[in-house]
Amino acid sequence: MLIAILDYGSGNLRSAQRALERTGAQVVITADYKTCLEAGGLVVPGVGAFAACMQGLISVRAGDIVDRRLAGGRPVLGICIGMQVLFASGNEHGTMTAGLGQWPGEVTELHADVLPHMGWNTIEAPKNSALFTGVENERFYFVHSYAVNTWDLREEGRLPSAQVTWATYGDRFVAAVENGPLTATQFHPEKSGDAGAHLLANWTRTL
């Protein structure tokens, strides 16, 4: 099974590659349009600012890639900013940037005494989560200052069938989403030790 990690100039992609390879998958880091469309799984990573990540994503036609994959039921996994850009918009320092718009919602700054939220945190996974099977009570590693703190898929007239996992750091925020072929985590599974490795193995088994 080939997994493509979308290379659009954001972040250190090698740690994600190594973590996914440990699940037994063949992994390639690429911006090639055809490879990203046809791979068994696509990972959209991301670190840094929402607006800068969106510029990079636009440059590699990521919106079209994600749309076409999801239309064909082909799995996509967003990680950290790669999750945030799946929402409608991001608001950083008063600047609003359109996201990929797969889900309604606005990425905003967390209300917490110390930012960024950096370190291990527990999560609140739904009972029927496939992604968190076997790691429901584990901690995961977060590095972020922004998040989505509301969820209402019905705003776009879609079926409210997504499984949403939450975490709390000052605000209660969306920590992960499982929505058919589209999955995302606000935390970094590749930096989350054995729990993250187990979660990635859960995801690759769905491909």
> Active-site residue numbers?
80, 188, 190
Beta strand 76-79 with 2-6: parallel, antiparallel or unpaired? unpaired
What span, in angstroms and rounded, lies between the C-alpha atoms of 50 and 52?
A: 6
